[in-house]
């Protein structure tokens, strides 16, 4: 089954055709990130305008690159309906509805956060080794959630951040340390990896790690980073290293604790921060120690992409309540538990 998906929840305009939820035929993604460098954050109106400029060219290029004559060979359409920026979401949802009407094929509404999970299935020759129940850690710019995935589309919420998302903390501290003013998480991480004079103690606390729950908090770490920076005692790479170590220890610690408690053998990561090298290495090592199989998406499916929106649609549409086209509407405030938006 071929699904054509559209993802426009924030600053990426992405279209993709995926076969049977796992095989990428084509994905076209453009980003308006360079426009947000000046402001140091997404201006929703700017992102929405860029979405409306980019959506038709992206659809066109997707069809051309796929080798298909048009979209009549597509079985279903899928689109991100939230969470995200309303102006950006409207562009993708409107385009997807038009295609669904034009080609008279069903449209499947997808929750972006559930989508991130399915980055683990695309172009992954080992996807059949993903067994349920599994523990899922979604770490992105806007969300940090830990859930128990009992099956496709069946989730139990375990915990999440009480304040900033992990990616948001990365971005704010990256900015403080003089890296990119917009989405500097990856740059901070590269600097942390280059640190040659590591401290022999933990500069920052591991927030909530010893609490008997699965919640997170990263805002205190942000403030602690600012205070340490203001002291002028530590190098930028030391601060980057210590910050990253604190975030990763907490993410890995809570995820492994959940996997042990719920006796699951599979751990799935997803979201932009799942591209983080230290997080991948540390959770893989800890997973090995506790006999858990850990999966992360290919790097191209960590950030926002329509590829896994198609994947999520494929694996969940059978359980999804049928919806009329007019009832498929953007919802910026969906949570990870709104599995069938
Ligand atoms: O999932 P995503 O592309 O967008 C949202 O849905 O939010 O995640 C973007 C986030 C940003 O905060 C970005 O700085 C962070 O992912 N990120 C990283 C890395 N690559 C992207 N954070 C830490 N290390 C990385 N290598
Ligand atoms: Zn995302």
Tens-digit pLDDT profile for residues 149-179: 999 999 999 999 999 999 999 999 999 999 9
Q: Please indicate whether the domains covering 2-118+301-327 and 130-297 agree at the CATH topology level.
A: yes
Cβ–Cβ under 8 Å, residues 22 and 122: yes
The contacts of residue 108 (CB under 8 Å, 6+ apart) are 3, 76, 77, 78, 79, 313, 316, 317, 320
Q: Which atom of ligand 1 is nearest to the CA of 116?
A: 1
Which one of the ligands is nearest to 302 CA? 1
Give CA–CA dist 47/25, Å, rounded: 27
Residue 31 alpha carbon to ligand 2 centre in Å: 13
> How confident is the model at residue 40, as a pLDDT?
83
For the Cβ of 145 lying below 6 angstroms from any atom of ligand 1, the answer is: no
For the Cβ of 272 lying below 6 angstroms from any atom of ligand 1, the answer is: yes
Report which protein residue has its CA nearest ligand 1's atom 16: 272
Give CA–CA dist 272/292, Å, rounded: 22
Give CA–CA dist 249/253, Å, rounded: 6
Residue with tokens 């280059």: 194
For the Cβ of 276 lying below 6 angstroms from any atom of ligand 1, the answer is: yes
For the Cβ of 84 lying below 6 angstroms from any atom of ligand 1, the answer is: no
Residue 284 alpha carbon to ligand 1 centre in Å: 19
Neighbours of 34 (CB within 10 A): 10
Q: Tell whether 152 is in a known binding site.
A: no
Structure tokens at 320: 């999804």
pTM: 0.96
For the Cβ of 195 lying below 6 angstroms from any atom of ligand 1, the answer is: no
Give CA–CA dist 260/262, Å, rounded: 6
Residue 261 alpha carbon to ligand 1 centre in Å: 28
For the Cβ of 141 lying below 6 angstroms from any atom of ligand 1, the answer is: yes
> How confident is the model at residue 272, as a pLDDT?
96
Q: Which residues of the chain have pLDDT under 70?
A: none
For the Cβ of 189 lying below 6 angstroms from any atom of ligand 1, the answer is: yes
For the Cβ of 119 lying below 6 angstroms from any atom of ligand 1, the answer is: no
Report which protein residue has its CA nearest ligand 1's atom 14: 185
Which one of the ligands is nearest to 300 CA? 1
CATH 3.30.420.40, domain 2-118+301-327, yes or no: yes
For the Cβ of 185 lying below 6 angstroms from any atom of ligand 1, the answer is: yes
DSSP bridge partners of 155:
149
> How confident is the model at residue 294, as a pLDDT?
98
Neighbours of 265 (CB within 10 A): 16
> How confident is the model at residue 180, as a pLDDT?
85
Structure tokens at 46: 């700017």
Residue 129 alpha carbon to ligand 2 centre in Å: 24
According to CATH, the topology of domain 130-297 is Nucleotidyltransferase; domain 5 (3.30.420)
- Helix H, strand E, coil C: the string for the chain is CEEEEEECCCCEEEEEEEECCCEEEEEEEEECHHHHCCCCCCCHHHHHHHHHHHHHHHHHHHHHHHCCCCHHHCCEEEEEEECCCHHHHHHHHHHHHHHHHHHCCCEEEEEHHHHHHHHHCCCCCCHHHCCCCEEEEEECCCCEEEEEEEECCEEEEEEEECCCCHHHHHHHHHHHCCCCCCCCHHHHHHHHHCCCCCCCCCCCCCCCCCCCCCCECCHHHHHHHHHHHHCCCCCHHHHHHHHHHHHHHHHHHHHHHHHHHCCCCEEEEECHHHHCHHHHHHHHHHHHHCCCEEECCCHHHCCCCCHHHHHHHHHHHHHCCCCCHHHCCCCCCCCCCCCCC
Tens digits of per-residue pLDDT, 209-236? 999 999 999 999 999 999 999 999 999 9
User: Domain ranges in the chain?
Assistant: 2-118+301-327, 130-297
Q: Which atom of ligand 1 is nearest to the CA of 183?
A: 14
Q: Which of 167, 186, 218, 277 to mutate to test the pocket of ligand 1 (most atoms within 8 A of CB)?
A: 167
How wide is the angle at C-alpha 167 spanned by C-alphas 250 and 137, nearest 5°?
55
Q: Tell whether 112 is in a known binding site.
A: yes
Cβ–Cβ under 8 Å, residues 135 and 283: no
For the Cβ of 170 lying below 6 angstroms from any atom of ligand 1, the answer is: yes
Phi, then psi, of 144 in degrees rounded to 5:
-140, 110
């Amino acid at each position: 089954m071929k699904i054509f998906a559209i993802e426009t929840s924030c600053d990426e305009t992405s279209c993709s055709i995926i076969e049977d939820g796992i095989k990428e035929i084509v994905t076209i993604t453009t980003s308006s990130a360079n426009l947000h460098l000046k402001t140091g954050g997404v201006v929703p109106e700017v992102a929405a305008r860029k979405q409306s400029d980019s959506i038709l060219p992206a659809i066109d290029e997707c069809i051309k690159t796929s080798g298909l004559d048009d979209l009549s060979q597509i079985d279903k359409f899928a689109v991100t309906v939230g969470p995200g920026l309303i102006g950006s979401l409207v562009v993708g949802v409107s385009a997807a509805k038009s295609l669904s009407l034009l080609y008279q094929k069903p449209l499947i509404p997808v929750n972006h956060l559930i989508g991130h999970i399915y980055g683990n299935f695309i172009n992954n020759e080992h996807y059949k080794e993903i067994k349920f129940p599994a523990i899922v850690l979604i770490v992105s710019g806007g969300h940090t959630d830990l859930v128990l995935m009992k099956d496709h589309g069946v989730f139990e919420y375990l915990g999440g951040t009480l304040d900033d998302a992990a990616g948001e903390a990365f971005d704010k501290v990256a900015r403080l340390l003089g890296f990119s003013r917009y989405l500097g998480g990856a740059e901070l991480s590269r600097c942390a990896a280059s640190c040659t004079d590591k401290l022999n103690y933990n500069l920052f606390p591991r927030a909530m790690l010893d609490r008997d729950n699965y919640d997170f908090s990263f805002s205190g770490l942000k403030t602690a980073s600012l205070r340490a920076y203001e002291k002028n005692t530590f190098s930028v790479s030391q601060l980057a290293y210590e910050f990253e170590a604190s975030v990763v220890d907490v993410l890995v610690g809570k995820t492994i604790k959940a996997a042990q408690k719920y006796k699951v053998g599979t751990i799935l990561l997803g979201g932009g921060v799942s591209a983080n090298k230290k997080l991948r290495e540390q959770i893989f090592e800890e997973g090995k120690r506790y006999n858990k199989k850990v999966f992360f998406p290919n790097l191209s499916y960590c950030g926002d992409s329509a590829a896994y929106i198609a994947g999520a649609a494929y694996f969940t549409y059978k359980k999804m309540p049928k919806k009329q086209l007019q009832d498929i509407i953007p919802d910026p405030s969906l949570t990870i538990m709104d599995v069938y938006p």
